[in-house]
């Protein structure tokens, strides 16, 4: 579906201008026959596991965290079953993200025929600079026809199997059709980069021609190899193209000066900007540094809400009710410059209405942060924000 929320010429100029600063990494539009939103972990994993059971030729998985808990155990069993049916299974897992996962978990998968690859395992030979580069993508590809993406790692806290206070509130989605093909190639490129040889993927049937009503999707990959951050450029394009409303949900909000300027400019254009951020965080230092940005945003008229019932982990942006940015990337320097990420831009009012309903429901159950309350925060809080603000690049 075509973008209609802002004048086409203006949006095109913004894309060209920011594309130059992003090293040309902004992608062309693709077609997805079906885009499905999963508003929580329970629905996401139910769909994912059902699809794994139906896989016929190929499964590719790429995850930052895989736990050896009930959810991880269920995944392992399904992958082993797929291998027994003759499906080729490839798995990339981040070595640091899975540091707490016993090596026996992956050894067992290898014995059962799953081809596992640890991304950037710990090694002093590579130096500290390389150690900080992590694979933060969350991606499952099935038969080159179906892709599952979003912010959910593999673990009970994401699947809604823990009590509410320890669970992550997260969002996933799936794509069918031609939009899946470049994701298979992206996976193969990551495997090649890490292992030194391409994975021997089976020949796959090409996706059928886009059906009537197919959805326009742009896929945006980010990595430290890019001279400029395509992830950040895409966020900035989205913010700059907003004419009426900008809804943002993000768990690790350390935006940096360029994103801050984009948000403040949107507010000056009379765009209604609402941010949903976490009231609690699994990385408390991130929340502390995030608070140091609140005053400037609130003074500009930007509304800030904090989700209290769960640990927020969803990464969503809705522009004028019709363009949705979602995936693995946070609004922080790590996602912009040091992580391997994957985001999608989905142009569909029907999909956007589902995203809006989800965000509005979360906003209704969250605490609004007022400027008066924020400026009255204690002296110690202000001091800690000031002291730790310089660490924003490393968080």
State whether 375 and 264 are in the same domain.
yes
State whether 185 and 82 are in the same domain.
yes
Distance CA 135, CA 93 (A): 8
State whether 150 and 231 are in the same domain.
no
Q: Which range marks the domain in which residue 7 is found?
A: 1-30+216-395
Single out the residue in 209, 231, 255 at which a domain terminates.
209
The domain that contains 314 carries what CATH number? 3.30.870.10
Residue 59 has pLDDT above 80, yes or no: yes
State whether 1 and 73 are in the same domain.
no
Number of domains in the chain: 2
Give the pLDDT band (50/70/90) at residue 165.
confident
Angle at 255 between CA 241 and CA 133, to 5 degrees: 115
pLDDT digits (tens, 9 = 90+) for 124-153: 676 666 667 899 999 999 999 999 999 999
Helices (H), 292-394: 294-299, 333, 349-364, 371-375, 379-388
Residue 289 has pLDDT above 90, yes or no: no
Using an 8 Å Cβ cutoff, are 10 and 16 in contact? no
CA 280 to chain centre: 19
pLDDT digits (tens, 9 = 90+) for 231-280: 999 999 999 999 999 999 999 999 989 999 999 999 999 999 999 999 99
Quick one: pLDDT at residue 26? 43
State whether 58 and 15 are in the same domain.
no
What is the token pair recorded at 375? 């400026």
Residue closest to 263 by CA, chosen among 313, 225, 204, 303: 303
State whether 8 and 104 are in the same domain.
no
State whether 319 and 223 are in the same domain.
yes
Longest C-alpha distance within the chain, in Å?
Answer: 63
Query: Which sequence positions are flagged as catalytic?
Result: 136, 138, 143, 313, 315, 320
Using an 8 Å Cβ cutoff, are 329 and 343 in contact? yes
> Between 206 and 352, whose confidence is greater?
352
Residue 2 has pLDDT above 50, yes or no: no
State whether 223 and 365 are in the same domain.
yes
Single out the residue in 209, 241, 275 at which a domain terminates.
209
Quick one: pLDDT at residue 4? 31
Single out the residue in 177, 209, 241 at which a domain terminates.
209
Residue closest to 38 by CA, chosen among 155, 136, 142, 158: 158
Residue 392 has pLDDT above 70, yes or no: no
Ordered DSSP codes for 101-124: S-HHHHHHHHHTT-EEEEES---G
Distance CA 158, CA 140 (A): 15
State whether 259 and 161 are in the same domain.
no
Lowest mean pLDDT among 44-58, 65-79, 271-285, 295-309: 271-285
State whether 193 and 69 are in the same domain.
yes
Ordered DSSP codes for 165-226: GGSEE--EEEEESGGGHHHHHHHHHHHHHHHSS---PPP-PPPPPPPTTPEEEEEEEE-TTS
Quick one: pLDDT at residue 9? 53
Looking at every residue in the chain, the average pLDDT score rounds to 89
State whether 274 and 392 are in the same domain.
yes
State whether 275 and 259 are in the same domain.
yes
């Amino acid at each position: 579906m075509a973008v209609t929320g802002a004048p086409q010429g203006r949006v095109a100029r913004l894309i060209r201008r920011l594309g130059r600063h992003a090293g040309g990494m902004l992608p062309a539009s693709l077609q997805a026959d079906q885009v499905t939103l999963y508003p929580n972990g329970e629905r996401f994993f139910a769909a994912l596991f059902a699809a794994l059971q139906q896989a016929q030729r190929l499964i590719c998985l790429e995850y930052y965290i895989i736990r050896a808990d009930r959810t991880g155990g269920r995944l392992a069993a399904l992958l082993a079953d797929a291998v027994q049916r003759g499906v080729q299974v490839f798995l990339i897992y981040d070595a640091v993200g899975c540091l707490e996962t016993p090596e026996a978990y992956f050894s067992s998968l290898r014995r059962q025929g799953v081809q596992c690859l640890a991304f950037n395992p710990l090694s002093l030979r590579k130096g500290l600079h390389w150690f900080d580069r992590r694979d933060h993508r969350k991606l499952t590809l099935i038969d080159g026809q179906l892709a599952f993406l979003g912010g959910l790692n593999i673990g009970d806290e994401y699947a809604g199997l823990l009590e509410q206070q320890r669970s992550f509130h997260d969002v996933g989605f799936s794509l069918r059709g031609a939009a899946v093909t470049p994701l298979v190639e992206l996976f193969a490129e990551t495997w090649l980069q890490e292992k030194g040889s391409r994975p021997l993927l089976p020949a796959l049937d090409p996706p059928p021609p886009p059906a009537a009503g197919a959805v326009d999707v742009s896929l945006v990959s980010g990595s430290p190899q890019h001279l400029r951050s395509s992830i950040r450029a895409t966020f900035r394009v989205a913010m700059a193209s907003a004419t009426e409303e900008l809804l943002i949900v993000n768990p690790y909000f350390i935006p940096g000066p360029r994103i801050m300027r984009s948000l403040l400019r949107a507010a000056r254009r009379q765009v209604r900007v609402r941010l949903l951020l976490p009231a609690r965080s699994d990385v408390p230092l991130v929340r502390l540094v995030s608070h140091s940005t609140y005053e400037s945003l609130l003074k500009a008229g930007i509304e800030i809400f904090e989700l209290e019932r769960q640990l927020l982990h969803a990464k969503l942006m809705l522009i004028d009710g019709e363009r949705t940015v979602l995936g693995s990337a946070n609004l922080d320097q790590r996602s912009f410059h040091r992580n391997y990420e994957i985001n999608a831009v989905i142009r569909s009012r029907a999909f956007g209405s589902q995203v809006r309903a989800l965000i509005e429901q979360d906003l209704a159950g969250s605490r609004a942060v007022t400027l008066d309350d924020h400026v009255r925060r204690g002296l110690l809080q202000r001091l800690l924000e000031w002291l730790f603000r310089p660490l924003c690049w490393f968080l």
